[in-house]
Structure 1
Amino acid sequence: MNLLDNLVKTTSIPEIYRNMKQEELEEKVREIKAKLGKKLFIPGHHYQKDEVIQFADAIGDSLKLAQVSAENKDAEAIVFCGVHFMAETADILTSEEQIVYLPDMRAGCSMADMADIFQTERAWTELTALFGDTMLPLTYVNSTAAIKAFVGRHNGATVTSGNAEKMVKWALDQKQRLVFLPDQHLGRNTAYNLGIKLEEMAVWDPITNTLEAQVETDKIKVILWKGHCSVHENFTVENIKQVRAENPEMNIIVHPECRREVVGLSDYAGSTNYIIDVIKKSEPGSAWAIGTEMNLVKRIINDFPDRHIVSLNPHMCPCLTMNRIDLPHLAWNLDQIVAGTANQNIIKVDADIARDAKLALDRMLNLA
Structure 2
Amino acid sequence: MSGSENDAVLDGIRELKAKFGRRILIAAHHYQSLDVVALSDIVGDSYALARLALASEAEFIILCGVLFMAESAVILAREGQVVLSPDPGAGCPMADMIDRRSMEASLDAIRSATGSSAAPIVYMNSTAGTKALAGERDGSVCTSGNAAAVVRALSSRGRPIFFAPDRNLGANTAAALGLDPRRVFLVGADRSIRGTGNPAEGLLFLWDGFCCVHKRFTVADVAAARAASPGVRVIVHPECDPEVVEAADDSGSTERLWQLAAEASPRSSFVVGTESNFVRRLAAAFPDRTVAPLRESPCLSMSRITAASLFRSLESIRDAALGKGRLVHEVTIDEISRANASKALKAMIALTEAGR
TM-score by length of 2: 0.95
1:47 aligns with 2:31: yes
In 2, distance between residues paired with 1:122 and 1:178?
A: 14
In 2, distance between residues paired with 1:181 and 1:95?
A: 27
Alignment length, in residue pairs? Answer: 348
Which of 240, 245, 263 is 2:222 aligned to? Answer: 240
Structure 1 spans left out of the alignment, 5+ residues: 1-16
In 2, distance between residues paired with 1:19 and 1:348?
A: 35
Taking a change above 3 Å as real, the CA distance of residues 59 and 209 of structure 1, as seen in their structure-2 partners, is same
Where 2:51 maps in the other structure, the secondary structure is helix
Mapped contact 2:313–2:328 kept (Cα < 8 A): no
Aligned to 1:169: 152
Aligned to 2:317: 337
Aligned to 2:7: 23
Taking a change above 3 Å as real, the CA distance of residues 363 and 247 of structure 1, as seen in their structure-2 partners, is same
Which of 52, 56, 62 is 1:72 aligned to? Answer: 56
Mapped contact 1:134–1:175 kept (Cα < 8 A): no
Where 1:42 maps in the other structure, the secondary structure is strand
Which of 172, 194, 218 is 2:200 aligned to? Answer: 218
Deviates more, 1:131-140 or 1:358-367: 131-140
In 2, distance between residues paired with 1:286 and 1:66?
A: 32
Aligned to 1:356: 340
CA RMSD of aligned residues (A): 1.4
Mapped contact 1:136–1:175 kept (Cα < 8 A): no
Q: Percent identity?
A: 36
Where 1:174 maps in the other structure, the secondary structure is coil
Where 2:79 maps in the other structure, the secondary structure is coil
Mapped contact 1:135–1:175 kept (Cα < 8 A): no
Offset, 1:18? 8.2
Where 2:39 maps in the other structure, the secondary structure is coil
Offset, 1:218? 2.5
1:89 aligns with 2:75: no
Output the amino acid matched with 1:205: G
Mapped contact 2:95–2:165 kept (Cα < 8 A): yes
Mapped contact 2:124–2:141 kept (Cα < 8 A): yes
Mapped contact 1:152–1:360 kept (Cα < 8 A): yes
Taking a change above 3 Å as real, the CA distance of residues 19 and 60 of structure 1, as seen in their structure-2 partners, is same
Taking a change above 3 Å as real, the CA distance of residues 204 and 169 of structure 1, as seen in their structure-2 partners, is same
Deviations 1:297-320 (A, max 9, x none): 00111111111211011xx23200
Offset, 1:19? 9.0
Where 2:212 maps in the other structure, the secondary structure is coil
1:117 aligns with 2:100: yes
In 2, distance between residues paired with 1:18 and 1:188?
A: 46
1:262 aligns with 2:244: yes
Output the amino acid matched with 2:299: C
Which of 142, 162, 173 is 2:125 aligned to? Answer: 142
Taking a change above 3 Å as real, the CA distance of residues 222 and 196 of structure 1, as seen in their structure-2 partners, is same
Output the amino acid matched with 2:140: A
In 2, distance between residues paired with 1:221 and 1:25?
A: 52
Aligned to 1:366: 350
Deviations 1:104-138 (A, max 9, x none): 11111111011111111122222222222242111
Aligned to 2:231: 249
Offset, 1:263? 0.2
1:283-302 equivalences under 5 Å are 283-302=265-284
Where 1:231 maps in the other structure, the secondary structure is helix
Where 1:345 maps in the other structure, the secondary structure is coil
Mapped contact 1:285–1:307 kept (Cα < 8 A): yes
Aligned to 1:100: 83
